[in-house]
Amino acid sequence: MKKVIMGNHAVSYGVKASGVKVISAYPITPQTQIVELLSEMCANGEIDAKFIKVESEHSALTAVVGASAAGVRAFTATSSQGLLLMHEILHWAVGARLPIVLTNVNRSVGPPWSIWTDQNDSLSQRDTGWLQLYCESNQETQDTIVQAFKIAETVRLPVMLVLDAFFLSHTYEIVDILEPNDVKKFLPPYETDIRIDVEHPHAFGNLAGPDTYFELRFMIQKAMEEARDVVKKVDAEFKEHFGRGYGVVQPYRCDDADLILVTSGTIASTSRVIIDEMRDEGIKIGSLKIRLFRPFPFDEVYEVLSKAKKVAVIDRNISFGHHGIFFQEIKSALYGRTDVPIIGYIVGIGGRDVTPKVIREIAEKALNDENPERDINWIGVKM
Amino acid sequence: MIEIRTHGRGGQGAVIASEILADAFFREDKYVQAFPAFGVERRGAPVMAFTRVSENEIRERCQIYEPDHLIVLDPILIETVNITSGLKDGGWIIINTNRDMSDSPLLDRYRIATVDANRIAVKHGLGSRATPIVNTAILGAFSSATGLVGLDAVLGAVEGFVPLKKEENALATREAYESVSTLSRK
């Protein structure tokens, strides 16, 4: 059924459709409506799940870790400082190989306090071992939740789904809402033999000496490498069931493009307005949205970008003392494989609006600057 | 694409108005998008919300700077906020006021529709006399003045969106639809 709903509620409907058994969360703007609606659904029996209220995000993820270790599908949502408070347990969920799904609504980190969007909260969790998927529409957000559980349970790693504060979380638009009964065929109830079971006691999270820990880390990396294909396979299967698919990257009008803009999140959506506008003017330009950030889709990125004459990476984040984080990732993906120039642009931090005009400014700079500052160009700084 | 910006104060229901309006257009098979310019949420502070309507999928995910039309829930905002910033010539300004605006300089460039949404809201028990909730009434005026979206679609959206006093809200929408006055120099 199609309905006009907000991005946060699209997440809730995705969780409802996934047959989740345990939800634990601590409210934080701008994700609050996700768990607010889920707690209502739990209270009125719309979903058969236990909602566990806790006193902090650290406890929320810990409760979800416990539930997942006991062999049930479990979910949490957070933002910004909340995600940072979860940091220790983010690592734990990976080491314990728990197929948890977490939604992070990108919110800038304080101080100074900000409730508006940028990607530094989720990107600073890059090396925890969570898969990360960045969404651009409410429909994609709902659908990706359902996909995320299937991916997580296949590779036994947790998945973080990421969306922009306000520009997506609080945006109302049309969503074809998934019916739990239709989803069951795609995502059957979760069953696992590896779980805490009082009838069959096992030790979990034991001490691992130097003779075994190394191999366990090797296995996580192997699972991550395998996840690249699993994400693609699950997306293709979802498309067979529901007619919608998103890929690991999304190229737009890239085939003969001289310049390709690399984007993520809502900026990916807005940028296509400018791609069409400039194409109408005869400028050969395209865009590449990175949907899957971890594991990084090296080959798909190479395949698209190696054909361009120039690449401009748009980052709504910054690694202080280095550059934009997507910029680093793209450079690393192309290193030694092509010498296409890559230029980095920083925009939109702290929720500064990224309009079609801003994207056009970047495209024109990238096309026309003879000797651009390659690594870092700040767009719109008022200094 | 039609872009509509709603100006109000915290507590008047500007954000919900933008969402109900989007839902009303959706009921007439349009692509829609609505979202607030999120600030510090407190009663009385100026707030803005945006609605986009299109025959095609909407890809812009940013604020509206050059709206086609405005909805203004508090007429005092006209004196304190540059509400017409970027408004396209000939655009409608739907204002909640009991004043006669036929002398307004805004009429040099724009069309104005006025409705006494405060009175209508109070009459139907929506909010209090000091802080009436005027969002459902003003949308009736929008529908009537602009003709862009039908009354039935607005009433359907109101019914779907408001959690309480569904009937009273519907009556307010209908009354505003019928009592709006429109002004234009063209």
Full set of structural domains in chain A with CATH: 2-242 (3.40.50.970), 250-378 (3.40.50.920)
Tell me if A332 sits within 8 A of A301, measured CB to CB: no
The SS3 of residue A298 is: helix
The closest alpha carbon to A326, from A135, A120, A136, A162, belongs to: A120
Nearest CA in chain A to B38: A166
Closest Cα in chain A, distance from residue B158 (Å): 13
CA angle at A246 for the pair A124 and A311, rounded to the nearest 5°? 60
Q: What pLDDT score was predicted for residue B41?
A: 65
Q: What pLDDT score was predicted for residue B11?
A: 84
Measured on CA atoms in the order A107, A112, A113, A114, is the torsion positive or negative? negative
Q: What pLDDT score was predicted for residue B42?
A: 73
Task: With residue B143 as reference, give the H or E element that holds it.
Answer: helix B135-146
Q: A231-235, long-range: CB within 8 Å, 24+ apart, which pairs?
A: A231/A131, A231/A133, A231/A147, A231/A151, A231/A292, A234/A147, A234/A150, A234/A151, A234/A154, A235/A147
Q: Do B38 and A355 lie within an 8 Å CB cutoff?
A: no
Candidates A9, A173, A176, A275, partner chain B, best to mutate (most B CBs within 10 A): A173
Q: Do B32 and A30 lie within an 8 Å CB cutoff?
A: no
**Number of domains, chain B:** 1
- CB-based contacts of B20, cutoff 8 Å, min separation 6: B135, B136, B139, B154, B157, B158, B161, B162
- Kindly report the CATH number assigned to the domain that includes residue B110: 3.40.920.10
DSSP per position, A351-380 = G----HHHHHHHHHHHHH-SS--SS-EESS
Cβ of B60 under 8 Å from any chain A Cβ? Answer: yes
Q: Do A173 and B19 lie within an 8 Å CB cutoff?
A: no
Cβ-Cβ contacts under 8 Å, A116 against chain B: 38
| Dihedral (Cα; B67, B68, B74, B80), 10-degree rounding | 50
The SS3 of residue A132 is: strand
The closest alpha carbon to A60, from A30, A89, A26, belongs to: A26
Rounded Cα gap, residues A305 and B77, in angstroms? 49
Cβ of B56 under 8 Å from any chain A Cβ? Answer: no
- CB-based contacts of A320, cutoff 8 Å, min separation 6: none
Tell me if B7 sits within 8 A of B73, measured CB to CB: yes
Residue type, A317: N
A185, exposed or middle or buried, with CB in 10 Å at 0-12, 13-18, 19+?
exposed
Q: Do A272 and B31 lie within an 8 Å CB cutoff?
A: no
Peptide bond into B132 cis (omega under 30): no
Q: Do B33 and A172 lie within an 8 Å CB cutoff?
A: yes
Rounded Cα gap, residues A318 and A118, in angstroms? 9
**Residue spans of beta strands (DSSP E) within chain B:** 2-9, 31-37, 46-54, 69-72, 92-96, 111-115, 181-183
DSSP per position, A110-128 = SSSP--S--THHHHTTGGG
* Per-residue pLDDT of chain A in tens (383 residues, 90 and over written 9): 999 999 999 999 999 999 999 999 999 999 999 999 999 999 999 999 999 999 999 999 999 999 999 999 999 999 999 999 999 999 999 999 999 999 999 999 999 999 999 999 999 999 999 999 999 999 999 999 999 999 999 999 999 999 999 999 999 999 999 999 999 999 999 999 999 999 999 888 889 999 999 999 999 999 999 999 999 999 999 999 999 999 999 999 999 999 999 999 999 999 999 999 999 999 999 999 999 999 999 999 999 999 999 999 999 999 999 999 999 999 999 999 999 999 999 999 999 999 999 999 999 999 998 777 789 999 999 98
Tell me if B8 sits within 8 A of B137, measured CB to CB: no
Q: What pLDDT score was predicted for residue B38?
A: 74
Rounded Cα gap, residues A270 and A252, in angstroms? 12
Nearest to B60 among A30, A170, A356 (CB): A356
Rounded Cα gap, residues B38 and A107, in angstroms? 13
Angle between helices B151-161 and B14-26 (to 10 degrees): 120
Measured on CA atoms in the order B154, B157, B162, B165, is the torsion positive or negative? positive
Residue type, B160: G
Q: Do A170 and B23 lie within an 8 Å CB cutoff?
A: no
- CB-based contacts of B155, cutoff 8 Å, min separation 6: B170, B173, B174
Looking at residue A383, the DSSP 8-state letter turns out to be -
The closest alpha carbon to A100, from A163, A161, A144, A157, belongs to: A157
Rounded Cα gap, residues A31 and A57, in angstroms? 12
Count of A-B CB contacts under 8 Å: 65
Q: What pLDDT score was predicted for residue A210?
A: 97
Q: What pLDDT score was predicted for residue B186?
A: 62
Q: How many residues does this entry show for chain A? A: 383
Q: What are phi and psi of A55, to 5 degrees?
A: -100, -5
Q: What pLDDT score was predicted for residue B149?
A: 98
C-alpha of A87 from chain center? 16
Tell me if A300 sits within 8 A of A249, measured CB to CB: yes
* Per-residue pLDDT of chain B in tens (186 residues, 90 and over written 9): 999 999 999 888 899 999 999 999 999 999 999 999 977 667 788 899 999 999 999 999 999 999 999 999 999 998 888 999 999 999 999 999 999 999 999 999 999 999 999 999 999 999 999 989 999 999 999 999 999 999 999 999 999 999 999 999 999 999 999 999 999 886
A255, exposed or middle or buried, with CB in 10 Å at 0-12, 13-18, 19+?
exposed
Q: What are phi and psi of B164, to 5 degrees?
A: -130, 165
Cβ-Cβ contacts under 8 Å, A272 against chain B: 59
Nearest CA in chain A to B33: A173
Nearest to B59 among A30, A115, A269 (CB): A269
Range of the domain at B60: 2-183
Tell me if A73 sits within 8 A of A190, measured CB to CB: yes
Cβ of B41 under 8 Å from any chain A Cβ? Answer: no
Residue type, B166: K
Q: What pLDDT score was predicted for residue B40?
A: 62
Q: Do A136 and B34 lie within an 8 Å CB cutoff?
A: no
Q: Do B63 and A269 lie within an 8 Å CB cutoff?
A: no
Q: How many residues does this entry show for chain B? A: 186
Rounded Cα gap, residues A314 and A363, in angstroms? 10
Tell me if A133 sits within 8 A of A291, measured CB to CB: yes
- CB-based contacts of B57, cutoff 8 Å, min separation 6: B31
Q: What pLDDT score was predicted for residue A370?
A: 75
Alpha helices (H) in chain A, listed in sequence order = 7-17, 32-43, 57-69, 80-85, 87-95, 120-123, 138-155, 180-186, 213-242, 265-280, 298-305, 325-334, 356-368
State both tokens at B60: 């812009």
